Structure 1
Amino acid sequence: MKFRFNKPTCQNIRKSLRKEWIETNGLGDYASSSLICCNTRKYHGLLVADLEQPVGKHVLLSTLEESLLVGDRELFFSCRKHPGVYYPRGHEYLHEMEIGEWPIFRYRLGEVTLCRELMLIPGRRLLIVRYEVRGAGSDTPPMSLRVKPLLAFRHADHLTHANSDLRPETFSAPSGFSVRPYPALPPLFMQAQGEAIFDALPDWYRTVEYLVEQERGFAYQEDLFQPGVFDIRLVPGKPVYLTASTEAIRTAHGQDVIGAIWRQEAERRLEKARSTETLEGHLAHEGEKCLIRRSSGEPAVVAGYHWFGSWGRDTLIALPGLTFYAGRPDTGADVLARMGAAARDGRIPNCFSADGNHAYNSVDASLWYVWAVQQMLRVLPDRKGFVREHCWPVIKAVIDAYGGGRVPLVSRDAEGFLSVGTPETQLTWMDATVDGRPVTPRHGQPVEISALWYNALAFADSLAKTFGEPEWRQAGLDGMRAVFAKRHWVHDEQNGDFLADVWREGDVDTRVRPNQLFAISLPYPVLEEEYYANVLSRVRRCLLTPYGLRTLAPSAPDYRSLYEGGPAQRDGAYHQGTVWPWLLGAYGEALLRTAWDVPGSTRELLRTLRPLFAQHLGDAGMGSVSEIFDGDPPHLPNGCIAQAWSVAECLRLLHLLREAAPEVYAEWEADARKGGD
């Protein structure tokens, strides 16, 4: 899928700054900015490296100041924000921007069109920017490209300012230079292919501002270091290239080394694009950006761009949609094996660390591991041998540790359910805190934890039977279902019955939340079928939006309609009404289990979600699915611009709907391509 934006959109700075693009390389590195390449976040940059030493994402090359020299005129086509002004105002020349296989920017400068394209090369920490001039006449004066690299060289979470510790010296590299501003970070090599001259002219560009950071209540001003200036001769119709990398590109005089790398990668992407023309294919392609391999060769999932790392819960929820439903079964199996190997006494890490000091601070990551294994077998039933060797030992360890009281802050009651946490802890996915206190206290028996635990027990019982291990058969499961309904069922004559979000020693939290869906949607539902329709009806009326599910019904006194303001205000809204797309996977499964008219229900849901799959894919993180949306219309996107479980569960939802009602789905997809409802 391609997204094109014409001159009115490009030159409307209010709109264009809200649209962002991202390039990745499969190593955890990325390049990203706004539609007009004016950075609005401290996380934006043209080379952001995910380093192992020092650990974390680091913005090396922040941006480029670029201009076209035609005769005695210098026309700037880049853009930055400084206090009270955008300078240069290069967006005024931007005629068209296209995001498809890679980002393409077309500038009209008089009679000349300058095409600027960029790629990160997969498996390499290498950015290539390609420039080509078209439309020049015989009377056009000689032209050259002037590029000033602007470096940040800092952790992505921080900002930098002019300082005496920075080492400004540059060193010669083939057709360019290298610089290492700080010894703790790797050197940066910048090289050109074409007739190029680099002059070392160190300077600071001061008080660059990032609009989104200012809105989010964070520090938003920094200084960027300019090591020097490239001047590159331009010949109409002949491309020139500029690279940024942590390693020197070996070039030789007269050889088209960088151009050959570009063409090979462009050919690969264009070939791949032919297989991703459907919406599911597009989402599978977007999901690949979240799949990375460390230098050790271990696979991992980035929970979201720009700031998330590898999280256990997020990885396991996203894994089926990123891999098994996206045609990457071996990658999915590798991740499951790695997750299992990292387990400690039945606990899957919640946060993975490059140094191996993982954080085991969630109660549900291990239970989501069981679900991810179930999803693999649903798509790949022939992988039972893999499950027996790699996953079954982990599942048994989970059952043994949780059931045996060896997991901190978890105990099993007489009826078989897990009680988790304390009033001061947040151990489920609704984990936001303000001033050290949980925003959504869920200690006790959260509804989805009970559902996940029952599902794990029932699946273990099935595997024990399959693998001939009777000692792992689970007794009393039917009795647990009756207890669950008695504890969580809330009768509401006026608004409709539903499941309480938390049961706590006889008291119930009667806020209407989406977590109750997991009592229906998991492979082994803990809720009896007679209750399904009531739960789904209440969720649909109170929580379903065109972009996902609200985390709290608007009727609740503590409902927050907008995700905005500083960190405390935003954390206070994070699970208090904010819409999450990833919950659509559970909603779709619950719907298909409940509906009498599956084709009709499928058609209705697809129509409801049309804005998510039509308008939103061209907004925010262009091509991808955002982390969250406001609870109230117009449901503006927010959070991460490309969230792994948002993309993955949307893809899995579409797969389920297509499988359940193929004719309805085909009709909807064909209509969507034509731009109809």
Structure 2
Amino acid sequence: MGTVSGLRTRRYHGLLVVAEPGRPARRHLGLAALDPVLTLPSGATVSLATHEWDGGVVSPEGHTLLERFELVDGLPRWRWRIGPVVLERGLAMVHGSPHVGVVHRLLSAPGPVTLTLKALVTWRDAHGERGASGPPPVVASSGDGAVVERAFRLHGPSWEPGGQWYRGAYAREEAARGLNATEDLWFAGQFRAELRPGEALEVEAWAGDGQPRGAQRIIDRAEERGRALVHDASDAVDAALVLAADAFVVAGAQGAPDVVAGYPWFGTWGRDTMTSYEGLFLATGWCDEGRELLRAYAATLSEGMLANTADTGQTEYNTVDGTLWFLHAVERHVTATGDEDLAREILPGLEQVVAAHVAGTRYGIRVDPADGLVTQGAPGVALTWMDARVDGVPVTPRAGKPVEVNALWINGLAAVAGLKERLGGDATGLRRLREQATVSFGARFRIPHPAGGQDAAPLFDVVDGPGGDDPSTRPNQLLAWSLPHAPLRGTPVPARLSDLFTPLGPRSLAADDPAFTGAHRGSPGDRDRAYHQGTVWPWLIGPYVDAVRHAPGGDDRELLAGIEAHLDEWGVGSVSETADGQAPHRATGCPFQAWSVAESLRVRRNVG
């Protein structure tokens, strides 16, 4: 991960970031940078690296010589020009392996040029820093490179050992997030080669056992794989979204496919995975991988709940909606593929989910027998996707009966009933539960119209909460129109919801609400307080487009234009986690977010 300019603006930026096998959330930064230095035919030396140092000094300033940056089959490529001398850098990773190849190729020069690549390394948790106050990384050199901290290896020509701290490397994005922004990097050594036009210096870095694979060969294979992934893409935007989706699908704890929720700081989250499922696996045609993922997640069901995350070191069952998204994902998969064997295998678990919700399970999650709607809530927890906390206190606890949870419940009951009937079973009880919940939904969630109102009425965000019914205008209610078996699908969408829409998707709270916060910036506490109080969430573009698409006279033709433009402005080639609620809606959060990409791809390919 890095930037177009080459400047490391985040603690996460580096050329080799290694995840522990089966634990995608546990990552270490290894090779932080390979700084190119050219010795020209005249004897002058030019550094093409760009670094910022504590105090605000940018040195060297290689970005001023950067002529071009592009993505080629999803892979980054830089080109620097110093008069007649042109140098190009390409890099790629081996799919499924912590192994990177970096190629610097001299495209033109009036004579031989010497290229030196300075390796700046560390070995630390990706979320932290390492400094000169502690011991330097242990570097064991060999003729073709070095082994760093017995954790990763560097390989390339004419290795010369180094041994020096580069103190005060500054990451401006961390400072903007209110976090420590300074660390020290260890100059482990350098590679060197004399190049003539057309020749290249190839360097590799990898973790664990393994042998050199050839940096150019790594790039060639990655380009071939990228072209294969997008062979059926309808246009450049479609291709970019498919390549972006591919980045999130990883090997999970048991070897089955799993989904990283977002880069650079998230691991795997059940809620995000199931929300993303249609876009990542069905819209792309990666159904075989999806099948194994669903089977693996089904094995985590406990007390009628799907495991949400193990990022904290232990498996947590802390969502009310993640399990209901799982019901949706399984039904969508079976509908798309006809895989009745999977339906037969997982259906007993899905029926247990329904039974556990009717009987009651963790955190007060239960079906209210009076109206058939799902209620939830326990002190100190936030169980919906709006789950931000500040000092351990939920910002938007939403205890009671949230609107999207009950839309998902009604949708999920129809999904399980349909699967059961598909396999020849009797779903009368499930259909009865759904009918009760649907009738109650229409009666309980509609906000009464003021006198003379003609438009469709918006919905309460939560009913039967500790403070009564919450009329806040939030995008959660979109699921009542967007899901395949939603209680209001095909009916007019309230005009009020269009007030939430921005080019990057709906705001999480209406801008005229007194609690609206327009900027998702500042310290961790500031950002968490703003997270669901007006911040834009691009993943909600999916429910918004579906709701409009299926409403009478709905026109969704221009709704994705902002997302398409966004592909070039933050996480290049991907879609961000969030954006400011106020114009110009600058992107925030993770630059690469799974459900943002998945929902954009799903509705663009008209899946679901």
Q: Structures share a fold, TM > 0.5? A: yes
- Give the distance between the partners of 2:279 and 2:507, measured in 1 at CA: 21
Offset of residue 427 of structure 1: 0.3
126, 129, 136: which one aligns with 1:166: 136
1:536·1:590 contact (CA, 8 Å) conserved in 2?
Answer: no
Offset of residue 528 of structure 1: 8.0
Offset of residue 593 of structure 1: 2.4
After superposition, give the CA deviation of every residue in 1:51-84 in whole Å (9 maximum; x if it has no partner): 1499701111111222111243110001010122
> Is 511-520 or 581-590 further displaced after alignment?
581-590
Match of 1:511 in 2: 472
1:433·1:571 contact (CA, 8 Å) conserved in 2?
Answer: yes
Match of 2:49 in 1: 78
Task: Sort the Cα spacing of 1:264 and 1:511 in 2 relative to 1 into closer, same or farther, 3 A.
Answer: closer
- Give the distance between the partners of 1:116 and 1:471, measured in 2 at CA: 60
Map 1:372-411 → 2, pairs under 5 A: 372-380=329-337, 382-389=338-345, 391-411=346-366
50, 54, 57: which one aligns with 2:19: 50
Match of 1:286 in 2: 244
Map 1:217-366 → 2, pairs under 5 A: 217-247=178-208, 250=211, 257-270=214-227, 272-276=229-233, 278=235, 279-294=237-252, 296-353=254-311, 357-366=314-323
Length-normalised TM-score, structure 2: 0.93
- Give the distance between the partners of 1:608 and 1:440, measured in 2 at CA: 28
Offset of residue 178 of structure 1: 1.6
- Give the distance between the partners of 2:299 and 2:413, measured in 1 at CA: 21
1:631 aligns with 2:581: yes
1:78·1:89 contact (CA, 8 Å) conserved in 2?
Answer: yes
The DSSP-based 3-state class of the residue aligned with 2:494 is helix
355, 361, 382: which one aligns with 1:426: 382
Amino acid at match of 1:490: I
The DSSP-based 3-state class of the residue aligned with 1:568 is helix
Task: Sort the Cα spacing of 1:145 and 1:632 in 2 relative to 1 into closer, same or farther, 3 A.
Answer: same
Match of 2:537 in 1: 580
1:100 aligns with 2:85: no
- Give the distance between the partners of 2:261 and 2:603, measured in 1 at CA: 19
1:153 aligns with 2:120: no
87, 95, 98: which one aligns with 1:125: 98
User: Number of residues paired by the alignment?
Assistant: 597
Match of 2:462 in 1: 502
The DSSP-based 3-state class of the residue aligned with 2:241 is helix
Match of 1:544 in 2: 501
Offset of residue 588 of structure 1: 2.0
After superposition, give the CA deviation of every residue in 1:195-219 in whole Å (9 maximum; x if it has no partner): x322212110000000110011010
- Give the distance between the partners of 1:456 and 1:271, measured in 2 at CA: 35
Structure 1: unaligned runs, 5 residues or longer: 1-31, 181-185, 660-677
2:483·2:489 contact (CA, 8 Å) conserved in 1?
Answer: no
Structure 2: unaligned runs, 5 residues or longer: none
1:467 aligns with 2:404: no
451, 455, 459: which one aligns with 2:407: 451
Amino acid at match of 2:391: D
> Is 310-319 or 447-456 further displaced after alignment?
447-456
Amino acid at match of 1:459: A
Amino acid at match of 1:502: V
Match of 1:488 in 2: 445
Match of 1:202 in 2: 163
- Give the distance between the partners of 1:271 and 1:470, measured in 2 at CA: 44
Length-normalised TM-score, structure 1: 0.84
Match of 1:437 in 2: 393
Offset of residue 166 of structure 1: 3.3
Offset of residue 295 of structure 1: 7.4
143, 154, 169: which one aligns with 1:190: 154
2:78·2:89 contact (CA, 8 Å) conserved in 1?
Answer: yes
Offset of residue 248 of structure 1: 6.3
Amino acid at match of 1:606: R
Task: Sort the Cα spacing of 1:144 and 1:469 in 2 relative to 1 into closer, same or farther, 3 A.
Answer: same
Match of 1:29 in 2: none
- Give the distance between the partners of 1:610 and 1:265, measured in 2 at CA: 29
- Give the distance between the partners of 2:12 and 2:222, measured in 1 at CA: 26
- Give the distance between the partners of 2:222 and 2:589, measured in 1 at CA: 31
- Give the distance between the partners of 1:264 and 1:438, measured in 2 at CA: 46
After superposition, give the CA deviation of every residue in 1:504-526 in whole Å (9 maximum; x if it has no partner): 16921010011111122222223
Map 1:57-68 → 2, pairs under 5 A: 57-68=27-38
Offset of residue 270 of structure 1: 4.3
Offset of residue 353 of structure 1: 5.0
Amino acid at match of 2:35: E
- Give the distance between the partners of 1:135 and 1:166, measured in 2 at CA: 38
- Give the distance between the partners of 2:479 and 2:380, measured in 1 at CA: 25
After superposition, give the CA deviation of every residue in 1:168-216 in whole Å (9 maximum; x if it has no partner): 342315x222221xxxxx5221111xxx322212110000000110011
- Give the distance between the partners of 2:164 and 2:234, measured in 1 at CA: 46
After superposition, give the CA deviation of every residue in 1:408-438 in whole Å (9 maximum; x if it has no partner): 3213222222210135320000001122222
- Give the distance between the partners of 1:442 and 1:259, measured in 2 at CA: 53
The DSSP-based 3-state class of the residue aligned with 1:499 is coil
1:312·1:365 contact (CA, 8 Å) conserved in 2?
Answer: yes
1:131·1:240 contact (CA, 8 Å) conserved in 2?
Answer: yes
Task: Sort the Cα spacing of 1:378 and 1:53 in 2 relative to 1 into closer, same or farther, 3 A.
Answer: closer
Offset of residue 443 of structure 1: 0.2
> Is 400-409 or 552-561 further displaced after alignment?
400-409
- Give the distance between the partners of 2:395 and 2:229, measured in 1 at CA: 44
- Give the distance between the partners of 1:295 and 1:443, measured in 2 at CA: 32
1:551·1:577 contact (CA, 8 Å) conserved in 2?
Answer: yes
> Is 294-303 or 329-338 further displaced after alignment?
294-303
1:626·1:642 contact (CA, 8 Å) conserved in 2?
Answer: yes
1:370 aligns with 2:335: no
Offset of residue 271 of structure 1: 5.1
- Give the distance between the partners of 2:136 and 2:536, measured in 1 at CA: 43
1:526 aligns with 2:499: no
Offset of residue 118 of structure 1: 0.9
Offset of residue 439 of structure 1: 1.2
Match of 1:662 in 2: none
> Is 369-378 or 624-633 further displaced after alignment?
369-378
The DSSP-based 3-state class of the residue aligned with 2:409 is helix
Offset of residue 451 of structure 1: 1.4
2:139·2:146 contact (CA, 8 Å) conserved in 1?
Answer: no
- Give the distance between the partners of 1:368 and 1:330, measured in 2 at CA: 19
Amino acid at match of 2:271: R
Q: Percent identity?
A: 33
Amino acid at match of 2:462: V
Match of 1:668 in 2: none
Match of 2:598 in 1: 648
Match of 2:434 in 1: 477
The DSSP-based 3-state class of the residue aligned with 2:135 is coil
> Is 163-172 or 127-136 further displaced after alignment?
163-172
The DSSP-based 3-state class of the residue aligned with 1:282 is helix
547, 571, 576: which one aligns with 1:590: 547
After superposition, give the CA deviation of every residue in 1:540-571 in whole Å (9 maximum; x if it has no partner): 2x211111011111111000111111111111
Match of 1:21 in 2: none
Task: Sort the Cα spacing of 1:528 and 1:653 in 2 relative to 1 into closer, same or farther, 3 A.
Answer: closer
2:414·2:434 contact (CA, 8 Å) conserved in 1?
Answer: yes
- Give the distance between the partners of 2:562 and 2:424, measured in 1 at CA: 49
